[in-house]
Amino acid sequence: MGAAHAETVTPRSKETIATRRTRQVYEPSVASAGMVLTDDLSRLARRAARSGIFCDFDGCLAPIVPDPAQARAVEGAAGALERLAGRFLVVAVVSGRSVSDLASRIDARGVRLIGLHGMEELREGEVRVSAVAEAARTAVERAAARLERELAGAPGAVLERKGLALAVHFRRAADPEAAERISPPALVDRADVAVGSPAEFVALLDELAGSA
């Protein structure tokens, strides 16, 4: 649900972009945006048998929290996904988490779980890993060891090892912006823009699942 596009995002512009997108997509008080969204959902529902629904876990089905291990899907998320899976050609949760981690947080019949942004998938209870990604495992471990050394100078920054991927979190630092500024340059170029709340997103899934 939603379109991806390339855009240059500076730290100062993130809040503006997030606010603009929230108003366009989720604010029911904005009549024009509500009409556009309703039209989009109706068109998508009419094409359900040949369409797919793909969503993230963190920030879509679950709130962003300081400790990723504490993230939980909002009430109704699994049920909404299952209803969609009964109508659409494919419904999938695509996450930066490992697929094993993802499976422990969302259990919805008929919904495909994709981990590490496509490098892993859970099929019939078995984790299947991209051969190309698997070949890079040693390089990922080397990068993790290097990052751990370099992040020693960024108090509060936490390195999360995901097997074939790495993530660095600044949310638990006393001053997240300061920790980010003194982190290794390779970590600074990221732009996570949250749109709406998980409760609002799941409400949209429910609306879509019940559309004629």
Q: What is the pLDDT of residues 59-78, one digit of tens each?
A: 999 999 888 889 999 999 99
Residue 189, in any domain of the structure? yes
Residue 4, in any domain of the structure? no
Residue 97, in any domain of the structure? yes
Q: Answer whether 0.85 is exceeded by the pTM.
A: no
Residue 2, in any domain of the structure? no
Residue 167, in any domain of the structure? yes
Q: How many domains does the chain have?
A: 1
CATH number for the domain that contains residue 103: 3.40.50
Domain region containing 155: 11-209
Q: Which residues of 170-204 are buried (b: 16+ CB within 10 A; e: fewer)?
A: beebeeeeebbeebeeebeeeeeeebbbbebbbbb
Please state, in angstroms and rounded to a whole number, the distance separating the CA atoms of residues 152 and 10: 25
Residue 5, in any domain of the structure? no
Residue 6, in any domain of the structure? no
Q: What is the pLDDT of residues 103-153, one digit of tens each?
A: 999 999 999 999 998 989 998 888 999 888 888 888 888 888 888 887 877
Residue 26, in any domain of the structure? yes
